[in-house]
Amino acid sequence: MSTNASIKAFQESQEFIPGGVNSPVRAFKSVGGTPLFISEGEGAYLKDIDGNKYVDFVQSWGPLIFGHRDESIEAAVIEAVQHGLSFGAPTVAETELAKLVVSFFDSIDKVRFVSSGTEAVMSAIRLARGFRGRDDIVKFIGCYHGHSDALLVEAGSGAATFGNPSSPGVPEDFTKHTLLAEYNNIESVKKCFADSKNIACVIIEPIAGNMGLIPADKEFLHELRKLCDANDTLLIFDEVMSGFRGSINGAESITGVTPDIVTLGKVIGGGMPVGAFGARAEIMAQLSPNGPVYQAGTLSGNPVAMAAGYAALTKLKQNARVMSVLEARAKRLLSGMQEAAEKEGIVMQIDVRGSMFGFFFNENPVKNFADATKSDAELFAKFHAGMLAEGFYFACSLYETGFISTATTDEMVEQTIDAASRVFKAIKNA
């Protein structure tokens, strides 16, 4: 398999773009080799500029639940474009998508759209601080909530990939109000509340996807809810990644824990850049122009993005049963890969939530970021390279999550398992 065109493109991109990429994890630094430059996607497949074709288990990091170039989403985008790209003024499309999003979540009465997950979380935290009149927040080590200054403290995903869990360029004054707790460890959260009586909110990925797939234990989330209630603190579920992926009705529907604020992204944009945050009416009433908490954005509610998101969520609502099909395929993929690994004496921890999946080359179950960092990064890099050579595109970091789309067939799943078996065998015999 030749990747000469990608190699050349990467060399050129590094002359004009820092690191040659516009998001760090894409640089392939943790897995080695040259990042593939993509020319097109179709259904479950990606094609690079060398003409190589891959079954795609990244799906643009989650939003493409119906695969690349879904006909209904593509048609909605084309129709919207024919009326204009951006107005900076209200459109009916915003209200229609807002109504649709609200219909999925018991915890959300109103929602505001923004342009990214980072912006959604940043705004949700500002809203929580304004609503409670407090400054401190609690986040969990390894959870990634975007790259706003106050949240780049022990971050997961791209920051963790490079072994640098906090970022230079972030003043200490911006993070002094951020308290850190350990994921799935309620005692660490209690310590945060003991250390501060000024906590406005606790933010958590209820299904963590940025330190690998690590779902929060239900018991832990229930205790977290009680702790927040006891301290009059808001609980934020960051579902930018897991929203409509882990469950069609959010993590609250599978954990029984109701958050105060939910942040969303990925699927609600159908492949276009969209984020959102929502809450009960009392909280959202504090948001400008009704209340004093300011948030704005020229491209918020962009009509093309709204059209894509509405088409994606409408299709998902009409085909809600597809979630169980996707989960079954993800479970088959992971169990098959695990069996193939075990035949070669390789220990593999696996997990699935809805159409999200994750795996670690780790001797022990993974419950938090410290556990995740004990995984075999070198083995993951070899596996990643081997699967690419076989024509299967997995996330280029062991701290990322994989995704199944409706375009991913049972046959593709079996082909992936067969390829994984060959790769594991080659790794052991090397």
335 in the same domain as 241: no
112 in the same domain as 243: yes
CATH number at residue 22: 3.90.1150.10
61: nearest Cα among 267, 351, 215, 208: 267
- Containing structural domain, residue 45: 4-69+321-429
123 in the same domain as 8: no
Q: What is the pLDDT of residue 176?
A: 82
Written as one string, the DSSP assignment of 334-383 is HHHHHHHHHHTT---EEEEETTEEEEE--SS---SHHHHTTS-HHHHHHH
Residue 76 is inside which H or E element, if any?
helix 71-81
Among residues 136, 139, 183, 266, which one is catalytic?
266
* Domain finish residue from 260, 294, 318: 318
234 in the same domain as 284: yes
98 in the same domain as 80: yes
Give the chain's radius of gyration (CA, Å).
Answer: 21
CA distance 183 to 200: 19
SS3 of residue 148 by DSSP:
coil
Angle at 329 between CA 328 and CA 330, to 5 degrees: 90
311 in the same domain as 203: yes
Per the annotation, the verdict on 315 as an active-site residue is no
370 in the same domain as 288: no
CA distance 139 to 205: 9
Mean pLDDT by 10 residues, the chain (430 residues): 95 96 92 95 98 98 97 98 96 98 97 97 97 95 86 57 54 82 95 94 97 97 98 98 96 97 97 97 97 95 98 96 97 98 97 98 96 96 97 95 98 98 95
Per the annotation, the verdict on 197 as an active-site residue is no
Residue 186 is inside which H or E element, if any?
helix 186-195
pTM of the entire structure? 0.94
279 in the same domain as 164: yes
376 in the same domain as 304: no
C-alpha distances in angstroms, 395 versus 11, 36, 333, 364, 401? 21, 12, 15, 22, 7
CA distance 363 to 378: 14
Among residues 144, 183, 310, 393, which one is catalytic?
144
Q: What is the pLDDT of residue 157?
A: 46
CATH number at residue 113: 3.40.640.10
296 in the same domain as 174: yes
Total number of domains in the chain: 2
Per the annotation, the verdict on 226 as an active-site residue is no
Q: What is the pLDDT of residue 154?
A: 57
Q: What is the pLDDT of residue 161?
A: 39
Among residues 238, 260, 351, 371, which one is catalytic?
238
Q: What is the pLDDT of residue 54?
A: 98
* Domain finish residue from 267, 295, 318: 318
SS3 of residue 118 by DSSP:
helix
263 in the same domain as 114: yes
Give the total residue count for the chain: 430
370 in the same domain as 244: no
